[in-house]
Amino acid sequence: MEETQRKALYAQLKAILAEYADLCIVYDNPGKYSLYTKKHVSMDGKPPDEQYFAGLRELKNSVGFYVMPVYTVPELREQVPACLQKILKRNACFNVKRSRRR
Query: Do the Cβ atoms of 48 and 36 come closer than 8 Å?
Result: no
* Predicted structure pTM score: 0.81
- Note the pLDDT of residue 58: 96
Asked if the structure places residue 102 within a domain, the reply is no
Question: Using CA atoms, how far apart are residues 39 and 76, in angstroms rounded to an integer?
Answer: 19
Q: Tell me which residue range forms the domain holding 85.
A: 3-96
Q: How many domains does the chain have?
A: 1
Asked if the structure places residue 101 within a domain, the reply is no
- Note the pLDDT of residue 57: 96
64 pLDDT tier (thresholds 50, 70, 90): very high
Question: Using CA atoms, how far apart are residues 79 and 70, in angstroms rounded to an integer?
Answer: 9
3-state helix, strand, coil in the chain (%, to 5): 30, 30, 35
Which amino acid type is present at position 31?
Answer: G
For the segment 3-25, what is each residue's pLDDT rounded down to a tens digit?
999 999 999 999 999 999 999 99
Question: What integer is the mean pLDDT of 34-42?
Answer: 82
